[in-house]
Amino acid sequence: MPGRLQHKSALITGAGSGIGLESALLFAAEGAHVLLVDVNLAAAERAARLVAERSPGVQAAAFKADVSKEAEVKAAVDQAVALFGRLDVMFNNAGIMHPADDNALNTEERIWDLTMAVNLKGVWWGCKYAILAMRANPTDAARGLHTGGSIINTASFVAIMGAATPQLAYTASKGAVLAMTRELAMVHAREGIRLNSICPGPLKTPLLMDFLNTEEKRERRLVHLPMGRFGEAIEIAKGALFLASDDSSYMTGTDFKVDGGLTSCYVTPQ
């Protein structure tokens, strides 16, 4: 069985941990060459070694970039094209949730700016350089590859619902990712470039678990989760794989929720 990303190449940001790491492992297992980008180079290198061990048939490389810096994102995309010849999948996944991010009264401007720079501007730069690279993709009729590509932007369930445990900058940044992705999807639809957002529910990754560091904080959330548990990063990676692959060829501009039913929930089951 050929993999669902056979002959494709993917760039994943935030690939050193959590969703990005699981996606790199899964995309490679499905046949993609993968560039693992992270601001933490050691984590990206560890992840790339793991990918190479598990999927020796594909190329996996690490690259250091801070997604909030335009020149670094451009360099990462250039590196993917230099290594693999083309870019088919861009997963703009890197994001931060700052512990000092709070409500409208307490959030400092520098926390707001930092969060927006990584979570929103970082996605913009990723889209910009992926679109330019995808436009230049050579058609490969022999291998049945279409021109264009798939761009996936990580938003969050908080882009859709409000939380009384506020993280204002984070929430606003993720809402903006949904709006920006929708509009870009329309602008580039006729070029065969698909853009979709993925909205994870709360997950057992360092990003959330470092923050929910007491039983009480975890319980405050768990009671609202229809399935009674936090999600796993691999469960988001599987959604991202669907959006990355041609299985989702008629999907663009969507807010793809992988949230255990959270955003459909009024009262949780007992």
Q: Which residues form the interface with ligand NAD (CB under 6 A)? A: 13-14, 16-20, 38-40, 43, 66-68, 93-97, 118, 122, 154, 156, 200, 202-203, 205-208, 233
Least distance CB 2 / ligand NAD (angstroms)? 28
Least distance CB 244 / ligand NAD (angstroms)? 15
**H helical segments located in 70-198:** 70-84, 109-116, 122-135, 168-188
Catalytic entry in 129, 170, 250, 266: 170
Least distance CB 35 / ligand NAD (angstroms)? 13
User: How many Cβ atoms sit within 10 Å of the Cβ of residue 212?
Assistant: 18
Least distance CB 7 / ligand NAD (angstroms)? 27
Task: Identify which of residues 139 and 213 has a Cβ nearer to ligand NAD in the complex.
Answer: 213
Query: Which neighbouring-strand residues pair with 193?
Result: 149
- CB of 53 closer than 8 Å to CB of 59: no
CA–CA separation, 169 vs 121, rounded Å? 13
Is 250 an active-site residue? no
Instruction: Return the DSSP state at 100.
Output: T
Q: Which residues, other chains included, contact 183 with Cβ-Cβ below 8 Å and sequence gap of 6+?
A: none
CA–CA separation, 161 vs 229, rounded Å? 18
Task: Identify which of residues 63 and 145 has a Cβ nearer to ligand NAD in the complex.
Answer: 63
Tokens of 68: 């909030």
Task: Identify which of residues 13 and 245 has a Cβ nearer to ligand NAD in the complex.
Answer: 13
Catalytic residues: 170
